[in-house]
Amino acid sequence: MARDPSWVAEAIREVERRHLVRRAGRVMRVIGHMLEVAGPTASLGELCALGRDASEGLGEVIGFHEGRLYVVPLGPLPEVSPGTPVRFLERQFRIRCGPGLVGRVLNGLGEPIDDRGPLEGPLVWRTVDAPAISPLRRGRISSPYATGVRAIDALLTIGRGQRVGLFAGSGVGKSTLLSMMARGGRADVHVIALVGERGREVREFLEDDLGEEGMRRSVVIVATSDESAYVRSKAAFVATAIAEHFRDEGMHVTLMMDSLTRFAMAEREVGLAMGEPPSSRGYTPSVFAKLPVLLERAGPGPVGAITAVYTVLVEGDDLNDPIADAVRGILDGHIVLSRSLANRGQFPAIDVLQSLSRLFPSIADEDHRRAAERVREWMARYGEIEDLFRIGAYRQGTDPAVDEAIQRMPEILEFLRQKKGETVAFEEAITQLLNLAGDRE
């Protein structure tokens, strides 16, 4: 009696499901940090074990072409040779999330590196590459977020669940300002990602900038500049997934990433290794496709919210470079740091007139808005005649509005200055702004 041929396919699927037959391939070529593998088909993002006993580590499938798979190691490039076995594990990359992460330092793959032993407490597995929340399920941003930085809270107020960028050239104070916001920010948990950071600066950031108090409510993810491009890229998604976990628990989370530019550079390295053609200043099209995929995952959810701050390193202080321009169009605001202000010794070197918080009009009350507009108007008028004033070419009395701006500028500059270890309460910052913008007797 003939059998239904469908039972054969069903039997094969059952055998594969029980792992009695393992899907495997072999290394054919190494391109930079990427392996070209010949063997069975596999899905994007699938993990694989490198070596006969997986002792060499794990890899992840990131592409395929003409029957070959592109695999990147999740860690240092292992010792491989032509024909090295690669076993496919039929699962995606995941990390462990839970309260045990708070106060810990993790690597770019979510594993602890702080010599305090394994992660403790209730932990759940979470997929790193998750989609963003549906826009119709997001909560509205209606309340301000206190950063502890007077210039931001008063003149560039950020809302809970807002996403902003810190734009500046190298050495202008992005990391320092980020650490001030980490210490003074009022959130339940801080998730801080150091992507492509110098190894020397990691410990300095943890001990000097963040400090013991800040570390007690923070999770720090570190992927230094000497690690592979894929690990540096993965660190950004790991940090975002951890922030999403705490947000889904109903918490208010601050996600801080330093820097988004180094994430883009890592993605560029991966894209070029796969043969993707560059499109703009060497950046591949996939870089600009992944930026919104990453950034849109932050923000408010049905419960909880992620307030995200990303640093953006602008090449040659050019705010219109491709990455800065693309990021500015995605985020809900930008804070620009000025090299000229830093050279004058004004820190934080925030250029208020070039900076913008898109949600400021909707989360600040009328008195607050009016005071901020008045101070910005004085700064704009002074900026128009600053060069003339400094060389003595402007005569007092020519324009009463300009005269008032000149008179007010010393107080405004003092208002904008803030020491590195100083934290200003949100209510105090608003009170000082109202006093600064008030009429004199």
- Mean per-residue pLDDT of the chain: 89
DSSP 331-356: SSEEEEBPHHHHHTT-SS-B-GGG-E
Using CB atoms within 10 Å of the CB of residue 30, give its burial: 0 to 12 exposed, 13 to 18 middle, 19+ buried.
middle
Strand (E) or helix (H) holding 29: strand 24-31
Q: Are residues 389 and 349 in the same domain?
A: no
Distance of alpha carbon 280 from the chain centroid: 22
Weakest mean pLDDT among 9-23, 54-68, 94-108, 307-321: 9-23
- Work out the pLDDT band at 23, boundaries 50, 70, 90: confident
Reference 169, options 312, 355, 352; nearest CA is 312
End position of a domain, from candidates 307, 330, 364: 364
Q: What is the CATH number of the domain that holds 415?
A: 1.20.1270.330
CA distance 258 to 202: 11
pLDDT in tens, 75-123: 777 778 888 888 888 888 999 999 999 999 999 999 999 989 999 889 9
Could you tell me what percentage of the chain is helix, strand and coil, using 3-state DSSP and rounding each to the nearest 5?
Answer: 40, 25, 35
Q: Are 337 and 181 in contact (CB under 8 A)?
A: no
* Residue 40 counted as domain residue: yes
For residue 186, the one-letter residue type is: R
Q: Are residues 294 and 359 in the same domain?
A: yes
Q: Are residues 289 and 198 in the same domain?
A: yes
* Res 226 pLDDT > 70: yes
* pLDDT confidence of residue 8: 46
Q: Are residues 278 and 137 in the same domain?
A: yes
Q: What is the CATH number of the domain that holds 254?
A: 3.40.50.12240
* pLDDT confidence of residue 76: 75
Weakest mean pLDDT among 40-44, 149-153, 289-293: 40-44
- Work out the pLDDT band at 140, boundaries 50, 70, 90: very high
- Work out the pLDDT band at 13, boundaries 50, 70, 90: low
* Res 31 pLDDT > 60: yes
Q: Are residues 34 and 141 in the same domain?
A: no
* pLDDT confidence of residue 318: 76
Number of domains observed in the structure of the chain: 3
Q: Are residues 161 and 231 in the same domain?
A: yes
Q: Are residues 70 and 111 in the same domain?
A: no
Range of the domain at 300: 95-364
What is the number of other CB atoms lying within 10 angstroms of the CB of residue 286? Answer: 17
Q: Are residues 179 and 238 in the same domain?
A: yes
* Residue 14 counted as domain residue: no
Q: Are residues 241 and 353 in the same domain?
A: yes
* Res 279 pLDDT > 60: yes
Burial pattern 194-219, b for ≥16 Cβ within 10 A else e, equals bbbbeeeebeebbeebbbeebbeebb
What would the mean pLDDT of 52-66 be, rounded to a whole number? 78
Q: Residue 3 carries which DSSP code?
A: P
- Greatest Cα pair distance in the chain: 109
Q: Are residues 149 and 238 in the same domain?
A: yes
Pairing label, strands 252-258, 189-197: parallel
* Residue 82 counted as domain residue: yes
Q: Are residues 167 and 74 in the same domain?
A: no
List, in sequence order, every residue forming a beta bridge with 97; answer none if it has no partner. 124
End position of a domain, from candidates 69, 92, 115: 92
CA distance 110 to 256: 16
Distance of alpha carbon 241 from the chain centroid: 12
**E strands of 226-294, at which residues?**
252-258
* Residue 171 counted as domain residue: yes
- Work out the pLDDT band at 15, boundaries 50, 70, 90: very low
What is the number of other CB atoms lying within 10 angstroms of the CB of residue 271? Answer: 24
